[in-house]
Amino acid sequence: MNYTKTFFLLLALLYNSLTHAQVIDPTASYSSISGDHYYRFSYDNDYFTKMDYYYTQGINLEYVHPGLRRFPLTKLLVKLPNSTYKYGLALDHIGYTPTSILSSRILYGDRPYSSTLTLKTFTISTDAARRQRLSASLILGVVGPAAFGEEMQTGIHRWLKNPLPQGWQYQVKNDVIINYQVNYDKNIWSPGNGLQFSGAAEARLGTFQQRLSGGLTLMAGHFNDPYQSNQSGKKWQYYFFGHPQANLVGYDASLQGGIFNLESPYTISASDINRLTLQGDAGIVVSTRKIYLSYCQSILTKEFRTGVYHRWGGIRFGLIF
């Protein structure tokens, strides 16, 4: 790796230590898998950063196959013309807790307990001629006790013989999740085969999250170009990535409760929500033509006035067929 590559990699990692990225997003350009037939399992946990609060765990099961273009909900997703396409489904389970799970009382000024269970239908359009990607997702599910967040965390803590959480009775109540998400990535600069610099934009609209985001993506190492329609050139890939991002937040049901069910015992008021947050991801990917492995760490600035920053880590494992 030359000095230019080293400089930009260190810059991205330094920026990541100050800023961070969203929960699991399999459509990101730095997460691209060569081919259009694969399974991927993703697991996030703040245990990797020696924390145990806020975004405490995320599980994602992803399936990508050309046959999913016939899935009924796929027709509702926008695509770029004159592109190659990937079609996928993902099942997500996510849990959030306050800074202490040992109190049996509401911790006012802290994050409420909440969890989500969702099914995501998504497409990824790659326009190689214009070096751009567009990902669209329709997310359906539930926030609240029906997502089994209490059962999941209690079961894991009991299995590990850790203290059991005491406050899930105050979690955000059941409500429906109907969200639409669009991500756009544009390659800005590729000075060599081992370095790529891209711009990224995102819009989320729906009952669970309303947010606009913008950021940058750096990839450095030995990798297939995610902006090419044929991404199977290299037998081995190994690279670092960094993704700083700024978010303009309109609504977040994991903090504020669902928009239909207003009976949650405790939520964060709209006046206490931080409308601007900074995010960032940094990690490493190693993959072959059959196996994908990744590890990343993330940090997120305060989401609400009385909150604190949060860090977590994640592992990814994919099988290409």
How many structural domains does the chain have? 1
pLDDT value for 19: 35
**pLDDT score, position 23:** 65
Q: What is the DSSP string of 142-209?
A: EESGGG-HHHHHHHHHHHTTPPPP--GGGSPPPEEEEEEEEEEEEEEEEEETTEEEEEEEEEEEESSE
Which residue range forms the structural domain that includes residue 193?
Answer: 3-320
pTM over 0.85: yes
Mean pLDDT, residues 66-94: 96
Which residues contact residue 312 at a Cβ distance below 8 angstroms, ignoring those fewer than 6 apart?
A: 44, 45, 46, 48, 49, 51, 55, 297, 298
Residue with tokens 């207003």: 262
pLDDT at 5 over 60: no
Q: Exposure string (b/e) for 279-312, b if CB count within 10 Å is 16 or more?
A: bbbbbebebeeeebebebbbbbbebbeebeebbb
> Considering the chain, what percentage of its residues have pLDDT values greater than 70?
92
- Whether the pLDDT of residue 7 is over 70: the answer is no
CATH code of residue 221:
2.40.128.140
* pLDDT exceeds 80 at position 123: yes
pLDDT 10s digits, 134-157 = 999 999 999 999 999 999 999 988
